């Protein structure tokens, strides 16, 4: 008898995500809506439509796997919700999407026994489909990916992010700025380019040498986590511990770069 993961055809999911990503791209505003109410209305229509349709489609193929609806409920994200379930973010990088900018994604991740085992990150603007399955590697548009080999901090190009809506507490802002100030003088470039899902996929491609982020955003991180790990990235939380449901912050890097970055970023 096939295991649950063996019953899932990644190509079926890739087709679905490509279709819905193209629809989102057609719906994307050319510039930011006039006020917060208009922004919320646009976001809720686009995100809600895709979430409902993907849930229906995936449930028709694999009815035994439920969908998470905890994207905006951090209290539900502190432990696995089911033995197996889907986590979907139809628009990861909502600010960019609403502003008519690139650098947003459609993400989907299967969590099985508290671990991400199948992940997809689709960049509709760049038409880049990233996906990974535990033990089978990470791919972009069918091309196998591998993290970069740079081993000098002075050449390192890093990604980070600091979602600040709703407004983050001042202590969290101070922590982020403290680490940012430590990193900037020692690396070639520190960039803040869209959501973690896309930056972690770019790390898997070798376009970035590392990625770090403060806070507790595991549901946002999980799709990119698996993709980066399957491409050979090394990862911990920002205390150097194993990345799990209680982790505070993340540090991802190529094996050559991780020891160098850990001397700066681990607290």
Beta strands in the chain (DSSP E): 84-92, 105-112, 115-123, 128-133, 138-140, 143-144, 157-160, 189-191, 210-213, 234-236, 250-253
Q: What is the pLDDT of residues 66-119, one digit of tens each?
A: 999 877 666 666 678 889 999 999 999 999 999 999 999 999 999 999 999 999
| Residues 30, 23: Cα–Cα separation, whole Å | 15
- What pLDDT does residue 77 have? 63
- pLDDT, tens digit, for every residue of 1-28? 578 888 899 999 999 999 999 999 999 9
Nearest to 63 by CA among 86, 81, 88, 47: 86
Check residue 32 and give its pLDDT: 82
pLDDT of residue 5: 87
Residues 97 and 89 sit within 8 Å (Cβ to Cβ): no
pLDDT one-digit tens code per residue, 55-69: 999 999 999 999 998
Two structure tokens written together for 189: 């470039």
Tell me the residue length of the chain: 267
Preceding peptide of 208 cis, ω within 30°: no
Q: What are phi and psi of 200, to 5 degrees?
A: -70, -35
Distances (CA, A) of 208 to 41, 67, 73, 75: 34, 31, 30, 31
Only one residue has tokens 């947003």, namely 104
């Amino acid at each position: 008898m096939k295991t649950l993961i063996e019953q899932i055809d990644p190509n079926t999911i890739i087709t679905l995500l490509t279709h819905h990503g193209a629809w989102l791209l057609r719906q994307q505003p050319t510039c930011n809506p006039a006020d917060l109410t208009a922004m919320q209305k646009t976001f809720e229509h686009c995100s809600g439509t895709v979430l409902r349709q993907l849930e229906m489609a995936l449930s028709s193929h694999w009815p035994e796997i439920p969908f998470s609806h905890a994207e905006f409920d951090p209290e539900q994200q502190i432990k696995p919700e089911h033995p197996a379930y889907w986590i979907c973010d139809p628009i990861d990088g909502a600010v960019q999407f609403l502003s008519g900018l690139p650098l947003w994604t459609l993400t989907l991740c299967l969590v099985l026994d508290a671990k991400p085992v199948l992940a997809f990150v689709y960049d509709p603007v760049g038409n880049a489909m990233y996906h990974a399955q535990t033990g089978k590697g990470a791919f972009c548009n069918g091309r196998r990916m591998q993290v970069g080999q740079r081993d000098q901090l002075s050449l390192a190009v890093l990604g980070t992010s600091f979602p600040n809506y709703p407004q983050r507490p001042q202590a969290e802002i101070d922590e982020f700025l403290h680490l940012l100030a430590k990193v900037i003088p020692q690396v070639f470039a520190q960039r803040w380019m869209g959501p973690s899902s896309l930056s972690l996929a770019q790390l898997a491609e070798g376009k970035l040498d590392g990625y770090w982020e403060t806070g507790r955003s595991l549901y946002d991180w999980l799709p990119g986590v698996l993709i980066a790990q399957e491409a050979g990235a090394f990862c911990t939380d920002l205390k150097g511990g194993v990345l799990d449901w209680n982790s505070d912050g993340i540090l991802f890097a190529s094996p050559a770069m991780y020891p160098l970055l850990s001397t700066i970023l681990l607290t």
